[in-house]
A and B are shown apart, each in its own frame.
Chain A
Amino acid sequence: MNGKSSKKKVNYAKWGYIFILPFFVTFFIFSFIPLVDTIRYSFFEYYRSGLKEIGPNFVGVHNYKELFTTDLPKYASNTFILWIIGFVPQIIVSLLLAAWFTDARLKIRGKQFFKVVIYLPNLIMAAAFSMLFFTLFSDSGPINSFLVDHGIVDGPIRFMATVGGTRGLIGLMNFLMWFGSTTIMLMAAVMGINPSLFEAAELDGCTHRQIFFKITLPLIKPVLGYTLITSMIGGLQMFDVPQILTGGAGTPDRTSMTLIMYLNSHLSSKNYGMAGALSVCLFIVSAVLCFFVYKMMNSNDLDGSKAAAKKAKRERRGAKAS
């Protein structure tokens, strides 16, 4: 022991542990133990049939087999389709708006107002937003009565009875809720680009299109990657909007049933074995996505400068070798 020095110096290391203790204790109790428990139950037959509780009996990977041979592939593809319908317009519109908002030559009136308005839907309770859409687009709702009254359609459009209608509405809601947030993040990324690059491009007579595709887009690639991955994680968790819009049934014919809605129905009916197996599958996918986020955050290189430097170094080395 360094007895001599400890008389002079206070040992501060223990304070570090004390300060981070509440976080880790809470995480251990409310996340880690539940996760282990979830994984354990995924190997058991444990459900309720009427009032009778069956199990827990150890059944190995039987739950996983059942999951993959029955509904999981269908719900996974539903979730993916619903995510894509919202994400593609979201990223296109956000890129366009981010480029416009940061363009110094473009005079936009009420820029702050537009920013405030497009971010607003992100803060709205998804459950309430979805309920609002359900009432507005129902067969006798305001949208239909407007369309019929003005002779635009002959009879009410039954939005929620068609696959495209339901998925379209969910996609529209996801788009509205997230494009503002993505725009603001991409704007921050574009504003991080060295302005002299844009000035030089302008002096050389580049068009807006050239500047966007040759300068802006390549330089914000890391942020775009980050947006893509976090949006995928968000998409994987999609629940509130389709759950409320379809009353938990994923109508029509379970084509808008997402993975978390499936998990929710297993949890509500107390089918713990299947819920566990499904949770583990979700955990594995999330862990892969989390790893990507971890790599991106850790490299601390969201503007891409370090990666570019590394590439240049590699190329130099390659030139030497040849």
Chain B
Amino acid sequence: MKLKKSTVREIIVHVVLAFLAILCLFFFYILIVNATRTHLDLQKGFSFLPGSNFMANLKNVLNDANIPILYGIGNSLLVSAGCAALSTYFSAMTAYGLYAYDFKLKKPAFAFIMMILVMPTQVCALGFLRLVTGMHLNDTLVPLIVPAIAAPSVFYFMYSYMQSALPMELVEAARIDGTGEFRTFNSIVIPIMKPAVAVQAIFSFVTSWNNYFVPALVITSKKKQTLPIMIASLRSADFLKFDMGKVYMLILIAIVPIILVYLFLSRYIIEGVALGGVKE
């Protein structure tokens, strides 16, 4: 029997795709399996089948005084939610200011934001650290949240979305009705921008949930640590003495919330990537 040329091609495509999908999922599968096994089992060797030690590992992690994981989760949630809220609201506001009004500095302001669109924050980390220390805000969560107000990439997404979804006639109609400018923004513009706000809120949440560089420099005390710092501290601790079941459980706790959110919202997230084209 001779296969058709297009069938051969289809088979090759599916094999390659399956290989890549397995490559992506393999490491997470091993992580989940290992998080359910005891330290002793893990030292004995490798297994594709899960153990029964999941709850015990979870309990061990929660009770470890050296890794205050509940504080870590709380801090990470607070910082990420704060960043998501501030960056989306204020970026929408900035975008609206540049979209709906005409003023002298409009063009330079827009050009300026576009110029810093992909500027790495690390280049001014030194000055940032000194400024934060000078303001006595070091070892607090404030410097991890407030700078999110100025988020150029979120702004750009909002601006592009506004161009396609916000007709100026709507704003003018509100003005004729005597609605104030701020009210118009909050009660008319924001609801129209909801899809864009949702997508960007997810992205900012994930970015700051995963952020490691700046928090590691700003935070010094254990109870203020976010999850990435806790994971990094595992690495620098005397690794071999550690209960490995606990290590895997901690990694699992750090990534599970994001995976859950992704499973529910993957369609919107993928659409957002295709639309935005700006990554940090």
Contact = CB atoms under 8 A, between A and B. Distances in A.
B128 interface: yes
B212 interface: yes
A161 interface: no
A224 interface: no
Contacts of A97: 17, 20
A289 interface: yes
Contact of B126 (A14, A239, A275, A290): A275
Interface residues of A, number: 108
A128 B13 contact: no
Given A20-B97, A128-B254, A239-B212, A38 B126 contact: yes
Contacts of A136: 27, 30
Nearest to A268: B217
Interface in B101-153: 101-106, 109, 111, 113-131, 143, 146-147, 149-150
Contacts of A107: 10
A37 B128 CA distance: 9
Contact of A127 (B27, B94, B212, B269): B212
Contact of B125 (A12, A19, A267): A267
Given A37-B127, A239-B213, A31 B258 contact: no
Interface string A111-124: 01111111111011
A19 B126 contact: no
Given A127-B212, A239-B212, A247-B236, A30 B150 contact: yes
B270 interface: yes
B256 to A, nearest CB: 10
Contact of B102 (A16, A145, A248): A16
A176 B102 contact: no
Interface stretch (B50-58, B61-69, B243-251): B243-251
B105 A279 contact: no
A15 B126 contact: no
Given A188-B275, A297-B117, A38 B213 contact: no
A237 B209 contact: no
A78 interface: no
A308 B10 CA distance: 34
Given A19-B101, A125-B227, A286 B120 contact: yes
Contact of A244 (B14, B46, B231): B231
B126 A289 contact: no
B73 interface: no
Contacts, number: 298
B106 A16 contact: yes
A131 interface: yes
Contact of B122 (A12, A260, A276): A260
A31 B255 contact: no
Contacts of B121: 31
Contact of A234 (B45, B125, B279): B279
A93 B9 CA distance: 16
A190 to B, nearest CB: 11
B266 A22 contact: no
B83 interface: no
A132 B27 contact: yes
Contacts of A116: 262, 266, 270
A248 B236 CA distance: 9
A35 B121 CA distance: 10
Interface in A217-272: 223, 226, 230, 233-234, 236-237, 239-240, 243-244, 247-248, 260, 263-264, 267-268, 272
A17 B24 contact: no
A12 B181 contact: yes
A13 B102 contact: yes
Contacts of A113: 21
Given A17-B103, A19-B93, A243 B232 contact: yes
Nearest to B207: A123
Given A34-B128, A279-B126, A105 B6 contact: yes
A13 B103 CA distance: 5
Interface in A95-147: 96-97, 100, 105-109, 112-121, 123-129, 131-136, 138, 140, 142-143, 145-146
B146 A26 contact: yes
Contacts of B236: 247-248
A19 B34 CA distance: 51
Contacts of A322: none
20 contacts: A10-B175, A18-B97, A20-B93, A24-B109, A26-B147, A27-B150, A108-B17, A117-B24, A120-B262, A123-B262, A128-B251, A136-B30, A142-B46, A149-B45, A239-B212, A244-B235, A290-B115, A291-B115, A294-B115, A297-B156
Given A105-B6, A125-B255, A290-B118, 18 more contacts: A22-B93, A23-B90, A30-B150, A33-B127, A35-B127, A37-B127, A114-B17, A115-B270, A116-B270, A120-B24, A126-B212, A140-B43, A188-B275, A188-B277, A239-B122, A267-B126, A286-B120, A293-B117
